[in-house]
Amino acid sequence: VESATGISLAVPEVCAGLLGIAVGDRVVHMRSVCAVYAAGRIRDWLGQRQRRSLADATICEIGPGIGLLPTVLGSLGTKRMTLVDLPELNAMQAYFLSSTLPSHALSLFGESCPPEGAVVRILPDFQFLDEPVHPADLVFNQDSLPELDLATVRRYLERIPAVSRYFLSINQETRVPEGTPLEGGFLPGLLRDSAAYRCLYRMPAWCRAGYLEEMFCCGD
């Protein structure tokens, strides 16, 4: 896989305590593999459908976790990224990415974002949902929107078309039971029922059983 993609599957050393498969003196984890898969899909989409490279595109990720996908994207040449997550995770992302992407400037909540050069803009969820955000060529989400309460998911889905024309989702399709605190939200149904989203393709996400990859065109 590494030979075909040109991307390392190893977990960065800064991920202390993350267990995985030992390959020589390295550790490979499911999440690092999924990050490489997602980065490859984003790169292919931009190149084949938008005729753009990662180097001249801006990617926005909702719920990036520790920052594995931004690390992979940065290693492939992506210069402009926006990350959206809970404030406490923003702090963890800043620490992690300062080690894995030392060539990128980090812009945190309340700081001005450099207009040029390689930069990762790290935003709390409330700023993304309530304030103008720099436009992106693609918004990506993996492993988080289905876990949120229904009201918050709807706010994100209302906001995404104002940020980008394209939304890539790699998520599971388990329906949250009715009557739970998450109020039975079902991401695929919400997307298909929204006039703001038009599905361009839908296919299995090959890294994990039960996960679907869907690309949407947002807006008119």
Write out the two tokens for 18: 């993350």
Q: How far apart (Å, rounded) are the C-alpha atoms in residues 126 and 113?
A: 17
Closest by CA position to 181, among listed 158, 143, 145, 147: 147
pLDDT tens digit at each of 220 positions of the chain: 888 878 888 888 777 666 788 888 888 888 888 999 999 999 999 998 888 899 999 999 999 999 999 999 999 999 999 999 999 999 999 999 999 999 999 999 988 888 888 999 999 999 999 887 789 999 999 988 887 878 888 899 999 999 999 999 998 877 665 555 555 456 777 777 788 999 999 999 888 888 889 999 997 6
pTM value is 0.90
Closest by CA position to 70, among listed 23, 120, 25: 120
